[in-house]
Amino acid sequence: MTELFEVEERDDHRIAAGATGLLATFNQGGLLTAADVHAAARICALAGEDDPQVALAVAVTVRAARHGSVCVDLADLAASEGAEDLPWPDRDDWQTAVTASPLSSAGVLRREGALLYLDRFWREEGQVRDDLLRRIAAPPPVVEEAVLATTAGRLFPEGYDEQRTVALAAARQWTTVLTGGPGTGKTTTVAGLLALLTGQADRPLRVALTAPTGKASARLQQAVEEAQAEDRFTDADRDRLTGLTASTLHRLLGWMPGSRNRFRHHRRNKLPHDVVVVDETSMVSLTMMARLLEAVRPDARLVLVGDADQLASVEAGAVLADLVQGLAHRAPGAVTGLRTTHRFGESIGALAESLRQGDSDRVLALLTEGEERVSLHDPVEHAETLRARLLEHALAVRAAAVAGDADGALAAMDAHRLLCAHRDGPYGVAHWNRLTERLLSDHDQGVWQEWYAGRPILVTANDYGLGLFNGDTGVVVREGDRLRGVIAGVGSDLRLATARLGAVETLHAMTIHKSQGSQVGEVTLLLPPEDSPLLTRELFYTAVTRAKQRVHVVGTQEAVVAAVERRAQRATGLIQRLAQD
Ligand SMILES: Nc1ncnc2c1ncn2[C@@H]1O[C@H](COP(=O)(O)OP(=O)(O)OP(=O)(O)O)[C@@H](O)[C@H]1O
């Protein structure tokens, strides 16, 4: 389905002043925004291109990137539901015009079969493909099979068979994509794999544990350390694995001031690590994957861990899902999957699995069976209960924060979260954050300003100086007569004066996109109406799998069915390009 906007007023900011021809028509028709139109007009002007069909092709390619796609299939777009009434150019004429354009000869526009790219994404996708296939074609690492088998038998005893198979495969090759839903033992496998690899080495291995967000990388480190505390690991294993530190991908690659997509480590200055484990790979954009692959030494193990059924990265690409599908044909051994859930109560696991399979009848049945851990509530009938739940949790966070109990406040904050698909409007995070703060201030006069004890916060930008990372969460706590922002960390929390906290949002409610990489006790998932274009299976799955104990879905049955049946589609060419010789 193609999402169009409706022009609401004469000076709607999405309407481009001065646009003409097809660009103006598609802008007024709600497909292109002013930004798409201006970008296309500028690119065409620089190349001396005045064919309106080419300008339209550039604009829809720019638009696609805004929606997370790295390319666009012109013919598909023209035929897509919702956009049929726009005056699309004839498909063949359009392709011919694009091919003949000076923008194509200059390499600004790139074709790959039916797909049209802007140069940057075309190059990045090609680079990801080439680097991966080069790694996969290289002679495999030399391993001591006898030692490997004995150690694997100890680290992965009976009951850990699935994980043993995956860890052994990863030990025997340079590149592994390890997929699995929540609680399937991905971290357990990584912890065991690291011990297997250090057991093979005659010197301490340099291991990088990394993830797209600080929170996710810290969680990985903590989970690996917890797994290694188990009896299956010997003191010798633990000794060899001391000093593991986790960092965000940006920090691992060496973030440079003033540059978003260029890093200190690259093809000519590789990372020193022998093993690089990336968690939450579904959140990694095409651009970051390209930067990572070029920086990893060819003789370093690379393990890309994630859940391919989750939402894709905020920025363009759907790399993990593409690798799972694309490599399944090209290099099946490189993709390993874990299926058995070890953590969830039966019902959350079953709900996640039915969502993964797209079985809307089963999803509805599970939600309405009367099971305590997963339930569906009508938005109107449930409104009062939802408000009461939000207030109850907000009061619990506040009580601990006012008492100066940072651990208690952080724990209370992670006991429940309201997850929304939208940022704005009646189903959006902004509305529900405001509402919760109003409920809280009706109850407690101390809550009426921006900073108050018990304000849960979400960091929205990296600040390397302060050690804050996009996605970190925390809470404002009273400390004597001052307020402090306490950001949850591994081992120790970070305490900062509230004045130093720049890019933060209130976190009584959170978007599902931003919830990726985190888990909480209970989730209340507020589904938007069935016609919301954001309502997709991946969104639903991601929200449900954030919960450790309980999921309350608030929405109509129609919204549930629409969510299960609609896929979040992104146009990418990686699967096809991985198949090519
Ligand atoms: N084979 C197994 N048998 C029993 N328990 C297991 C097994 N594998 C893992 N577990 C336990 O299940 C829980 C989930 O495992 P783990 O954290 O490794 O999964 P995960 O896939 O990394 O989860 P997530 O990504 O959702 O955090 C842990 O408590 C772990 O100790």
List residues forming the annotated binding site: 180-187
| Rounded distance from Cα 544 to ligand 1 centre (Å) | 17
**pLDDT, tens only, 215-247:** 788 888 888 888 888 889 998 888 888 778 788
Is 356 close to ligand 1, i.e. is its CB under 6 Å away?
A: no
Nearest CA to ligand 1 atom 1: 160
| Rounded distance from Cα 188 to ligand 1 centre (Å) | 6
| Rounded distance from Cα 183 to ligand 1 centre (Å) | 5
- Helix/strand/coil (H/E/C) assignment for every residue in 138-196: CCCCCCCHHHHHHHHHHHCCCCCHHHHHHHHHHHCCCEEEEEECCCCCHHHHHHHHHHH
Is 540 close to ligand 1, i.e. is its CB under 6 Å away?
A: no
Is 517 close to ligand 1, i.e. is its CB under 6 Å away?
A: no
Averaged pLDDT of the chain: 90
Cβ atoms 264, 239 nearer than 8 A? no
Is 183 close to ligand 1, i.e. is its CB under 6 Å away?
A: yes
Residue 113: count other Cβ atoms within 10 Å of its Cβ.
11
Ligand 1: residue of 187, 282, 544 to mutate (most ligand atoms within 8 A of CB) is 187
Taking the CA of residue 180 as reference, the ligand 1 atom at the shortest distance is 21
DSSP state of 24: H
Nearest CA to ligand 1 atom 2: 160
Is 186 close to ligand 1, i.e. is its CB under 6 Å away?
A: yes
Nearest CA to ligand 1 atom 16: 185
- C-alpha distance from residue 126 to each of 64, 115, 131 (Å): 18, 13, 9
Residue 1: count other Cβ atoms within 10 Å of its Cβ.
11
| Rounded distance from Cα 182 to ligand 1 centre (Å) | 8
Taking the CA of residue 227 as reference, the ligand 1 atom at the shortest distance is 31
Mean pLDDT across 539-551: 95
What does the angle CA 538 – CA 424 – CA 18 come to, to the nearest 5 degrees? Answer: 100
Helix, strand, or coil (residue 122) = helix
Amino acid code (one letter) for 421? A
Is 192 close to ligand 1, i.e. is its CB under 6 Å away?
A: no
Going by DSSP bridges, is the β-strand pair 71-73/301-306 parallel, antiparallel, or unpaired?
unpaired
Rounded to an integer, what distance in angstroms lies between the CA atom of residue 124 and that of residue 126? Answer: 5
Q: Which bin fits 485, alpha (ψ -120 to 50), beta or left (φ > 0)? A: beta
pLDDT at 143 over 70: yes
Rounded to an integer, what distance in angstroms lies between the CA atom of residue 396 and that of residue 266? Answer: 47
**pLDDT, tens only, 405-414:** 999 999 999 9
Cβ atoms 167, 152 nearer than 8 A? yes
Dump the DSSP string for 357-408. Answer: HT-HHHHHHHHHS--SSEEEE-TTTTHHHHHHHHHHHHHHHHHHHHTT-HHH
Least confidently predicted of 259-268, 282-291, 538-547? 259-268
Please compute, for residue 357, the number of CA atoms within 13 A of its CA located in the half-sphere on the CB side. 11
Is 159 close to ligand 1, i.e. is its CB under 6 Å away?
A: yes
Is 185 close to ligand 1, i.e. is its CB under 6 Å away?
A: yes
- C-alpha distance from residue 17 to each of 86, 145, 379 (Å): 20, 68, 41
pLDDT at 525: 98
| Rounded distance from Cα 163 to ligand 1 centre (Å) | 10
Helix, strand, or coil (residue 463) = strand
Is 471 close to ligand 1, i.e. is its CB under 6 Å away?
A: no
pLDDT classification of 344: cutoffs 50, 70, 90: low
Mean pLDDT across 499-506: 91
241-250, 428-437, 461-470, range with greatest mean pLDDT = 428-437
pLDDT at 442 over 80: yes
Least confidently predicted of 288-302, 483-497, 510-524? 483-497
pLDDT at 164: 97
Amino acid code (one letter) for 524? T
The neighbouring-strand residues paired with 278 are 210, 304
| Rounded distance from Cα 305 to ligand 1 centre (Å) | 14
Ligand 1: residue of 190, 230, 342 to mutate (most ligand atoms within 8 A of CB) is 342
Ramachandran angles phi, psi of 420, nearest 5°: -120, 155
| Rounded distance from Cα 341 to ligand 1 centre (Å) | 8
Nearest CA to ligand 1 atom 26: 182
Dihedral sign, CA of 274, 185, 151, 232?
positive
Which residues touch 34 (CB under 8 Å, ≥6 apart)? 13, 14, 15, 16, 17, 19, 27
Mean pLDDT across 500-506: 91
| Rounded distance from Cα 87 to ligand 1 centre (Å) | 53
Cβ atoms 237, 492 nearer than 8 A? no
pLDDT classification of 316: cutoffs 50, 70, 90: confident
pLDDT classification of 202: cutoffs 50, 70, 90: confident
Mean pLDDT across 7-34: 76
pLDDT at 170 over 60: yes
List residues forming the annotated binding site for ATP: 180-187
Length of the chain as a residue count: 581
The pTM score is 0.89
Nearest CA to ligand 1 atom 12: 342
Nearest CA to ligand 1 atom 8: 185
